[in-house]
Structure 1
């Protein structure tokens, strides 16, 4: 596995190298010149590439592997969330309010008080909050608290006032303004109704955006994340979207993760083509288009084939008319775009497949590598369509442990609950898996996703949710590396450690194949290499000269 003799810039060596080509790690050494892997072999074979200036990283049983490739996140939204009040630990509304109060007092100069990841499903009463309780702890400034799934928010009266939302404000398309028994806004905003508030809360200066993005990149590197997919979130979050900012970082050599951009699939193909032409480098590129078909189960905005079990007058709804969705797909597919749909309910997943199938009929079969995001509640009759239509299942395994399992099951009932996050069933049926986090809906740590995929431990922290849906550690790591690379047409340069591929490498402080599964999420990163450059280094990393 050698190329012509050169002097390496870096050599990374250890007893546990997981290349992704085999199922187990093996002892190996890797020589890197510039941004490419030029040789892999034994220490003796690779030492011929060592020169006076070569940096040699010698590891023992730490796991050396391809860099984590997060297939689904929201970079700038996540960067903002890193600076917000974190409410996931609250087990009552009072606890959540105390966290918010302390956070607000610690940041008196912030114009908005922003929080995230609250979930009333975990509270003692399981009752949704309202603006009045939030007013009691934050009255002088607007406050915006995103639900854990990011599809609804809890706001105070000041935020409603600034956004111009009152009893006479009509619901936007695919959005609901929560109202109390007197018809007044209750402080809960669902789906696109959040937009009027977010537009004000997220109106940051360019300098603030630079600071946010810099923090995001540093965080990603510290977690061994070497490539990410920044997906269109919502129209209201578009205020954060700043591809020129990403380009500025690339031009200055400060882009320490590969960024794959997925702007909105919205019928505007002129804009999509222009963006694709503008951003097309190894470090920053438009990879395709993304859109939402539905919402989430807990808010009953996910689109189901049959009504919700605990509210039989609704199946949820689609974010756009099905015919519009299909037309957008056919037209974009014809232009060679890969497409990704947020589809959580079985109705939404079926509609995504129907749209992809229609594109194949209209445009002919091609290597399109379309994806479906989340794939939470799938009808068993649709599982085979992943392989049949050559669609990637883009999943975030920790999501099934984020929602309180009892609440989730109440929404959909026992029958549909059998087909929730069916990762192994999808894999067995020939679906390609690609893993990510959906950061900031979940934390950016890839090892939490890997842990859930191999254990299926649910929100109780003890019980296994459908043990037959567990997958192996090898398959979980491949879904987080090679699966993501393939699904964005980069399998020839990313996703495995091979001669000729780009040098994106992560070293973990422990060998995941040798430790108990419960210790996986707490394993730290020792070293992160992106494009042949060390972008994160634990202080105790051993370097030889």
Structure 2
């Protein structure tokens, strides 16, 4: 309704008004996560987190303890292991998982989410044998005898995920409810649910919650970009509310750096025989973009390598030439390794830079740098360089690839502390705290055409508000990630109060 001094605001109060006094605590617009995967994240909240493991044995011990505590689970699922941090730096195999889980299928997603470690039972359930052919854009890892070794890359994971993620609607409702509570506790009031490799179909569950007025986070849906635009248009017509809407379409152009599935312009420094590949032919990608752009869709591409980023920008540029310029607000996701020639193109083409700053601290820096070599390493996660071009910058977590806490992303953006925990990776790429907060509020709102109603605290906008227990601007930077949310308001309704835990 209004913002102003205490005296100005009291005119709006009556005997039934609840008044909060927050004094020096920081009051900001609700955090708006521009990139995550809701149902995969909901699964992760009830799975084993392996990020802290520093050896294969560490990981196995964590998995075993988790499995013993979840005897009722038909599958044992884990997330965020990274052999780059292990003592041997060697990928694990199915045999070690078999030792602790001989009879129950196990699926452990790598930290980047683009490959997985499975046991023999999981391979059996998915009917993957030495004779199974690689899917398009996927690799079944094999040992020296030609047998599956338990590592599945990209779309080779899908056959296992199909079985592991076969949840009932009751289970989906419970998982989704947990997600909403978790988001509220972290001050996340709006999210973007991007079509992923591991999609669990749950749109009907989201709609159920909305119909019962139990949807406490605004959800922007980004279903798959492919050649089925009629289906996409049907979804867009079906979901178009304040709280649940289709905002555009999403697709993958490449993979990730560590397994060398990200698509580079030049070969990998430590494996000159490959530069990765695209998930679909370049002509196909461009055709899909032109067709979807013509129908008024915004498009978002996962693009990590410099080759993938260039292809995404080329596709958007070609759509402008064919369809004419419009305010399309397309986006490129991740933008990890970019060619300097492509840096100004985001602003020129009106493309949003969608980044997750903590990702550069999740990857073991030496491993990551060895893959790309010193020349490309100069242009890793160039947050400040891109931001100062005037391009729209929007932050997210990629949850469950990373935890859902927005303040961890903000901390990385303002410090650039790398995986060692004390070294700054390219200090010139740091941004200010105010800029980082904008990238988590007004940046995502603009990225989805909602800057007129979300992203700042102004009269006439929707009341999505977060109160932090401390003022980020008056505290040591290293304490930012541990700062707690005091109060979360969505649509003028308190959905989380730290003093009372979660409210619905």
TM-score by length of 1: 0.91
**Structure 1 unaligned residues grouped into runs of 5+:** 1-37
- Distance, in Å, in 2 between the alignment partners of 1:524 and 1:329 is 41
> Residues 114-125 of structure 1 correspond to what in structure 2 (within 5 A)?
114-125=77-88
Q: In the alignment, which residue of structure 2 is the partner of 1:181?
A: 144
For residues 388-408 of structure 1, what are the alpha-carbon distances to aligned partners after superposition, in whole Å with 9 as ceiling and x for unaligned?
A: 101000000000000000000
Question: Residue in 1 aligned with 2:213?
Answer: 253
By how many angstroms is 1:71 displaced? 0.2
- Equivalent position of 1:476 in the other structure: 436
How many angstroms apart in 1 are the aligned matches of 2:201 and 2:114? Answer: 18
User: What is the match of residue 176 of structure 2?
Assistant: 213
- Separation of aligned partners in 1, 2:498 and 2:119: 42
Q: Does 1:68 align with 2:25?
A: no
**Which ranges in structure 2 are unaligned for 5 or more consecutive residues?**
none
Counterpart residue number, 1:352: 312
Pairwise CA RMSD:
0.7
Report SS of the residue matched to 1:539.
helix
Moved over 2 A (4+): none
**Cα deviations by residue, 1:196-230 (Å, 9 ceiling, x for unpaired):** 00000000000000000000000000000000000
Matched, 1:377 2:329: no
Q: What does residue 457 of structure 2 align with?
A: 497
In 2, Cα distance between the equivalents of 1:313 and 1:46? Answer: 66
SS in 2 for 1:534: strand
Residue 399 in structure 1 maps to residue 359 in structure 2: yes
Structure 1 residue 465, shift from structure 2 partner = 0.3
Map residues 80-229 of structure 1 onto 2, 5 A cutoff.
Answer: 80-229=43-192
CA distance in 2, matches of 1:204, 1:540: 31
- Deviation digits for residues 264-318 of structure 1 (CA, Å, limit 9, x no counterpart): 0011110010000000000000000000000000010000000001111000000
Q: Which residue of 1 aligns with 2:193?
A: 230
2:3 to 23, 37, 40: 40
Note if 1:49 corresponds to 2:19: no
Structure 2 Cα separation of the partners of residues 110 and 367 of structure 1: 47
Partner in structure 2 of residue 12 of structure 1: none
- Rounded Cα–Cα distance in structure 2 between residues aligned with 1:111 and 1:218: 25
1:318 maps to what in 2? 278
Question: Structure 2: how far apart are the matches of 1:531 and 1:127?
Answer: 49
1:412 to 372, 382, 396: 372
The equivalent of 1:267 in structure 2 is 227
Q: Is 2:492 aligned against 1:532? A: yes
Equivalent in 282, 295, 298 of residue 242 of structure 2: 282
Give the SS at the match of 1:218: helix
How far, CA to CA, are the matches of 2:391 and 2:454 in structure 1? 20
- Distance across 1 between alignment mates of 2:130 and 2:229: 38
User: Per-residue deviation at 1:343?
Assistant: 0.1
- Equivalent residue for 1:58, pick from 4, 17, 21: 21
**Deviation string, structure 1 residues 332-355 (Cα, Å, up to 9, x no partner):** 000000000000000000000000
Using the alignment, how far apart are the partners of 2:101 and 2:340 within structure 1? Answer: 47
CA apart distance, 1:241: 2.0
Shift of 1:538: 1.0
CA distance in 2: counterparts of 1:203 and 1:60, whole angstroms: 48
Offset at 1:540? Answer: 6.9
DSSP 3-state at the match of 1:520: helix
SS at match of 1:312: coil
Secondary structure of the corresponding residue to residue 314 of structure 1? coil
Superposed CA offset, 1:430-450 (max 9, x none): 221000000000000000000
Could you tell me how far apart the structure 2 residues matched to 1:241 and 1:66 are?
Answer: 30
Separation (CA, whole Å) in 2 of partners of 1:40 and 1:111: 52
The alpha carbon displacement at 1:378 in A equals 0.3
Give the stretch that moved more between structures: 253-262 or 240-249: 240-249
Q: Distance in 1 between matches of 2:3 and 2:113?
A: 43
Cα separation, 2, equivalents of 1:100 and 1:538 = 32
Deviations 1:380-425 (A, max 9, x none): 0000000110100000000000000000001000110010000000
Q: Structure 2 length as normaliser, TM-score?
A: 0.99
Aligned with 1:427 (options 379, 387, 394)? 387
Cα distance between partner residues in 1 of 2:340 and 2:252? 22
Aligned mates of 1:318, 1:214 — CA distance in 2: 36
> Residues 74-100 of structure 1: CA distance to partner in whole angstroms, max 9, x if unpaired?
000000001111100000001001001
